Amino acid sequence: MKLKLNSMVVVLGLVACSLSAQAQQTVKIGFLGTLSGPAGALGQDQYDAFMLGLEHFGGKLGGATVQVIKEDDQLKPDLGVQLAQKLIEKDKVNIITGVTFSNVMMAIHKPITDAGVLLVGSNAGPTPLTGKGCSPLFFSTSWNNDSLHESMGQYANDAGYKKVYMLAPNYQAGKDAFSGFKRFYKGQVMDEVFTQVNQPDYSAEIAQLQAAKPDAVYVFYPGGMGVNFVKQYQQAGLLGKLPLLSTSTVDGTTLPALKDIALGVVTGSPYSPDIDNPQNKKFVEDFKKKFNRSPSLYAAQSYDAASLINAALLKTGGKADNKDALRAALKSAEFKSVAGPFKFNTNQFPIRNFYRVDVAKDASGQAAFVNKGVVLKDHADAYYKECALK
Q: Is the pLDDT of residue 192 over 90?
A: yes
List the chain domain ranges. 25-145+275-352, 146-273+355-379
Q: What confidence category does residue 25 fall into, taking pLDDT thresholds of 50, 70 and 90?
A: confident
Nearest to 45 by CA among 307, 288, 335, 313: 288
User: Residue 390: what pLDDT?
Assistant: 86
| CATH classification number, 146-273+355-379, choose in 3.40.50.1370, 3.40.50.2300, 3.60.90.10, 3.20.20.70 | 3.40.50.2300
Summarize pLDDT for 56-82 with one digit per residue, the tens.
999 999 999 999 999 999 999 999 999
Instruction: Report the C-alpha gap between 101 and 255 in whole angstroms.
Output: 20
316 three-state secondary structure = coil
**Cα radius of gyration (the chain):** 23
On the question of a common fold for 25-145+275-352 and 146-273+355-379, the answer reads yes
Averaged pLDDT, 129-145: 97
Taking residue 207's Cβ as centre, other Cβ atoms within 10 Å add up to 11
State the chain's mean pLDDT as an integer: 93
Each residue's pLDDT tens digit, 78-103: 999 999 999 999 999 999 999 999 99
DSSP secondary structure letter of residue 374:
E
Number of helical H runs and strand E runs in the chain: 12, 14
pLDDT in tens, 240-299: 999 999 999 999 999 999 999 999 999 999 999 999 999 999 999 999 999 999 999 999
Q: Using an 8 Å Cβ cutoff, are 355 and 374 in contact? A: yes
List the CATH code of the domain at 25-145+275-352.
3.40.50.2300
Residue pair 53/282 in contact (Cβ under 8 Å)? The answer is no
